[in-house]
Amino acid sequence: MADYSKEEIKHIEDKWRAEWEKRDVYKVKNDSQKPKYYVLDMFPYPSGAGLHVGHPLGYIASDIVSRYKRLKGFNVLHPMGFDAFGLPAEQYAIDHGIHPAVSTAQNIQNFKDQLSKIGFCYDWSREVQTCDPNYYKWTQWIFLQIFDSWYNRKTEKAERISVLVNVFEKEGNANHPFPNSKFLVPQTSKELFTAAEWKSFDKKTNQDILMQYRLAYLAYTDVNWCEALGTVLANDEVINGVSYRGGFPVIKKQMRQWSLRITEYAERLLKGLDEIDFSDSMKEIQRNWIGKSMGAKISFQVKNEKGEVHNLVVFTTRPDTIFGVDFMVIAPEHELVKDLTSHAQKEEIDAYLKYTESRSEIDRMAEVKKITGAFTGAYAINPFNGREIPVWISEYVLVGYGTGAIMAVPCGDERDHKFAKHFNLPITNIIGQHYNGEEANATKDAILENSDFLNGMVMHQAIDKVILKLEDKGIGKRQVNYKMRDAGWSRQRYWGEPFPVVYREDIPYAMDERKLPLTLPESNNFKSSGTGEGPLANLKDWVHFADGERRDTNTMPTHAGAAWYFLRYTDPHNDKAFADKKALDYWGQVDVYVGGSEHAVAHLLYARLWVKILHDLGFLNFDEPFKKLINQGKITGDSRFVYRVRGTNKFASAGLREKYDTDPLHVDVNIVTGTELDTEAFRKWKPDFADAEFILEDGKYICGTGIEKMSKSYFNVVNPDVIIENYGADTLRMYEMFLGPLELSKPWNTHGIDGVFKFLRRFWNLFHDNQGNVSVSDADPSPEELKVLHKTLKKIEYDIEHFSFNTSVSEFMICSNELTAMKCNKRSILEPLVIALSPYAPHIAEEIWEKLGHTDTVLNETFPQFDEKYLKEDSFEYPISINGKVRTKMNFALDMPKEDIEKLVLASEVVTKWTEGKAPKKVIVVQGRIVNVVM
RNA sequence: GCCCGGGUGGUGAAAUUGGUAGACACGCAGGACUUAAAAUCCUGUAACCCUAAAAGGUUGUGCGGGUUCAAGUCCCGCCCCGGGUACCA
Residue A631 DSSP one-character state: E
This model's pTM is above 0.95: no
Nucleotide nearest to A885 (CA to C1'): B70
Distance A884 CA to B68 C1' (A): 11
Instruction: Count the residues in chain A.
Output: 935
Q: Point out the nucleotide closest to A751 (alpha carbon to C1′).
A: B26
CA distance A846 to A717: 31
Contact between A123 and A75 under an 8 Å Cβ cutoff? The reply is: no
Residues A257/A499, Cβ–Cβ less than 8 Å = no
Q: Largest Cα–Cα distance of chain A, in whole Å?
A: 108
| Closest alpha carbon to A328 in A344, A312, A351, A311 | A312
**A650-652 vs A501-504, strand pairing mode:** unpaired
Rounded Cα gap, residues A746 and A709, in angstroms: 10
- Say which nucleotide is closest to residue A934, CA to C1' distance: B69
At residue A212, the 3 state secondary structure works out as coil
A810 CA to B14 C1' in angstroms comes to 9
Q: Please report, rounded to whole angstroms, the spatial distance between the CA atom of protein residue A275 and the C1' atom of nucleotide B67.
A: 34
Å: A598 CA to B63 C1': 34
Q: How far apart are CA A81 and CA A87, in angstroms?
A: 18
Could you tell me the CA-to-CA distances from A731 to A752, A756, A795, A839 in Å, in that order?
A: 11, 6, 21, 13
Q: Exposed e or buried b for every residue in A528-544, given b needs 16+ CB within 10 A? A: beeebbbbbbbbeebbe
pLDDT value, residue A435? 86
Which residue from A845, A903, A911 is spatially nearest to A883, judged by alpha carbons? A911
Measured between alpha carbons, how far is A759 from A739 in angstroms, rounded to an integer?
Answer: 15
Which protein residue's Cα is closest to nucleotide B20 at C1'? A879
Q: Where are the alpha helices (DSSP H) in A360-413?
A: 361-366
Q: What is the mean pLDDT of each run of 10 residues along chain A (935 residues)?
A: 78 94 94 93 89 88 96 96 90 87 94 93 96 97 97 96 97 93 86 94 94 94 75 64 72 84 93 88 87 92 89 93 94 91 93 83 70 92 93 90 92 90 92 85 87 90 92 92 89 92 95 94 79 83 92 93 96 96 95 88 93 97 94 85 88 81 85 78 88 82 78 83 91 93 86 90 87 85 91 93 93 92 90 95 95 94 92 80 82 81 83 78 78 81
Residue closest to B82, CA→C1'? A745
Q: Which nucleotide is nearest to A316 (CA to C1')?
A: B89
Closest nucleotide to residue A809 (Cα to C1')? B24
**DSSP character string of A672-687:** EETTEE-HHHHHHH-G
Nearest protein residue, CA measured to C1' of B70: A884
Upstream peptide bond of A897 is cis (omega within 30 degrees of 0): no
- Contact yes or no for A525/A535 (Cβ under 8 A): yes
Q: Which nucleotide is nearest to A745 (CA to C1')?
A: B82
CA of residue A114 to C1' of nucleotide B37, angstroms: 36
3-state SS record for A462-482: HHHHHHHHHHHHCCEEEEEEE
The span from the CA of A829 to the CA of A848, in Å, is: 14
Q: Nearest nucleotide, C1' to the C-alpha of A817?
A: B24
User: Which nucleotides in chain B have some atom under 7 angstroms from a protein Cβ?
Assistant: 3-5, 11-15, 19-21, 23-27, 40-42, 57-58, 69-71, 82-85, 87-89
Tell me the CA–C1' distance in angstroms for A571 and B32: 62
Q: In whole angstroms, how large is the CA radius of gyration of chain A?
A: 35
Region of residue A662 (left: phi > 0; alpha: psi -120 to 50; beta: else): beta
Distance A123 CA to B17 C1' (A): 38
Q: List, as own/partner pairs, every contact residues A67-71 make where C-beta atoms lie below 8 angstroms and the sequence separation is at least 24, other chains included.
A: A67/A121, A67/A838, A67/A839, A67/A842, A67/A859, A68/A800, A68/A839, A68/A863, A69/A37, A69/A39, A70/A121, A70/A859, A71/A835, A71/A838, A71/A839, A71/A859, A71/A861, A71/A862, A71/A863
| DSSP-derived secondary structure for A790-842 | HHHHHHHHHHHHTT-HHHHHHHHHHHHHHHHHHT--BHHHHHHHHHHHTTTSH
CA(A922)–C1'(B20) in Å?
20
Q: Which of the nucleotides lies closest to A931 (Cα–C1')?
A: B19
Beta bridge partners of A922: A934
Residue A229: phi and psi, rounded to 5, are -90, -15
Distance A749 CA to B40 C1' (A): 24
CA separation for the pair A461, A447 (Å, rounded): 10
A392-442 pLDDT tens trace: 999 899 888 889 999 999 998 988 999 999 999 999 999 888 888 888 888
One-letter amino acid at A255 equals M
Q: How far is the CA of A447 from the C1' of B29 (A)?
A: 69
Closest CA to A258 of A234, A275, A236: A234
Instruction: Tell me the CA–C1' distance in angstroms for A740 and B14.
Output: 10
Q: How far is the CA of A355 from the C1' of B15 (A)?
A: 61
β-pairing, A746-747 vs A635-645, is parallel
Element (H, E) at A735: helix A729-738
**Distance from residue A751's CA to nucleotide B10's C1', rounded to whole Å:** 14
Smallest CA–C1' separation from A407, nucleotide: B89
Output DSSP code: residue A304: -
Q: CA A407 to CA A405: how far, in whole Å? A: 7
Which nucleotide lies nearest residue A484, CA to C1'?
B88
Integer distance in angstroms from CA A811 to C1' B50?
Answer: 37
**Whole-number distance in Å between A885 CA and B71 C1':** 13
Q: Which nucleotide is nearest to A239 (CA to C1')?
A: B85
Can you give the pLDDT at residue A234?
61
Three-state SS across A870-883?
Answer: HCCCCEEEEEEEEC
Q: Nucleotide B85: nearest residue by CA–C1'?
A: A288
Helix count and strand count (H, E) for chain A: 30, 34
Burial letters for A208-232: b for 16+ Cβ neighbours within 10 Å, e otherwise?
bbbbbbbbbbbbebbbbbbeebbbb
Which nucleotide has its C1' atom closest to residue A601's CA?
B84
Distance A302 CA to B44 C1' (A): 84
pLDDT of residue A239: 65
